[in-house]
Amino acid sequence: MEPKYILASEMCRLENSSNPDNQGEATKVVDHDMKNMLGEDSLLEHLESAPGGAAAMYNSALDMTLKALLNMKVLKEDLKHNDQPYQDDLGEQVPCALQNFFTAFVSEEIKNEGIYSVLLSDLLASLKEVIPMSSDAAEVLVEILEFWQCWKNPERESLVTRLFSLEVNETMSCKKCRRKSNYPEEISYGIVMAADSIRDQKCAFGNMKFVDILNMIRMQYQMLCDIKTGGCGETNIVDHIISSCPPIFTVVLQWDKSETEKELSETTKALDWEIDISRLYRGLEQNTNYRLVSMVGCGEEEEEHICLAYEKIRWVNLRRESFEGEDVGSWKNVVKFCEERKVRPVILFYEAAPSRWPNK
């Protein structure tokens, strides 16, 4: 199953978990497991000149999601060694537009006057032809990664598989009858968590770390020991096992979009800039640490997005009109920034240490 649909199935499972007809599969599921330097007016002029009227399709979700991706060192290093053209069997222009965009990124040309705006307008025009434009950053990310699958060498895994994909095996050992169950391996681009679940756990347990909050939410996902296959019907916690992990670990937060300022603040304070994912998955060495390198958030208006990126020794707010951005400072200042500007963090991109990057 494609990673895109793994994410979609998780969302459906959240919605259906309260339905008694579905309790044979899960007794409880808590929300978890997805212009360059020109001003705005100048960018819109570029977009209006693009084929298909891309200006009408412009949204800040794509702009800020791309900028968040551009801030990852492992991505740039991998792209430097990936000179294969996109396969054109899809008959679409999006792969070509993506390749042009990221080729310019590797060569640093993307930061030249006006280049980013032109490349973005070309990408928007191509996307318009094949998918509905979305203001949801998580949906935009999935679409980018899906099209990115076309950029691959027959002798090598695709960039998305190497850098983003999690291969997870779920197992269950019944505490009553001792029967063990193994479920088919699933591939996803990351994990999806409900913001209110994170907030509730943080309020209940105070100083609990973000990664432990995620793990506790996961533990509330239980499955039945299947009677149809010889089980006893007891509910049990499911273990998540991975033998290796990608250099980029993605966490998507789902918001109700009706949160109060206090609720938004409490959720943001629960986040950590460093996590040990061995506390989330079995099969990894202890202290498999990842650090947050970029974050896409949504402002008060649903279509207003921001990108916070860690550059050198500080966090910056990357505006649409500039790669330089506004200085934010420390992680403590990031939390304050989100509180004051009512930003809802939506996509968190964590990056592993260079020693865990795939071989070039």
Q: Which residue's structure tokens are 């950053």?
A: 137
Residue 11 lies in a domain: no
Residue 331 structure tokens: 């992680």
Determine how many CB atoms are found less than 10 A away from the CB of residue 307. 27
Q: Which one, of 359, 350, 209, 212, lies nearest residue 293 by Cα?
A: 350
CA distance 85 to 243: 31
Model pTM score: 0.81
Phi/psi for 192 (5° steps) reads: -115, 130
Residue 15 lies in a domain: no
Residue 360 lies in a domain: no
Residue 357 lies in a domain: no
Give the number of C-alpha atoms closer than 13 A to the C-alpha of residue 84, restricted to the C-beta side: 17
Spell out the SS3 assignment of 97-142: HHHHHHHHHHHCHHHCCCHHHHHHHHHHHHHHHHCCCCCCHHHHHH
Angle among Cα 328, 333, 336 to the nearest 5 degrees reads 115
Which domain CATH number covers 73? 3.90.70.10
DSSP states of 193-254: EEHHHHHHHHHHHTT--HHHHHHHHHHT-EEE--GGGT----EEEPEEE-S---SEEEEEEE
Q: How many structural domains comprise the chain?
A: 1
User: Looking at 277-331, which runs of residues are DSSP E strands?
Assistant: 289-298, 305-311, 314-318, 326-329
Residue 94 lies in a domain: yes
CA distance 56 to 124: 10
In which domain, by residue range, is 224 found?
58-83+90-352
Axis-axis angle for helices 73-80, 60-70 (nearest 10): 80
Residue 6 lies in a domain: no
Residue 337 lies in a domain: yes
CA distance 347 to 355: 24
Residue 26 lies in a domain: no
What tens-digit pLDDT sequence spans the chain (360 residues)?
A: 333 333 433 333 333 333 333 333 332 222 233 333 233 444 444 444 444 333 333 578 889 999 999 999 999 888 887 766 665 554 456 778 888 888 899 888 888 878 888 888 888 888 877 777 777 889 889 888 888 877 666 667 788 888 999 888 888 899 989 988 888 888 888 999 999 999 999 999 888 999 999 999 988 878 889 888 888 988 988 888 887 789 999 999 999 988 999 999 999 999 999 999 999 998 888 899 999 999 999 987 766 899 999 998 899 999 776 677 899 999 999 999 999 999 999 999 999 977 666 654
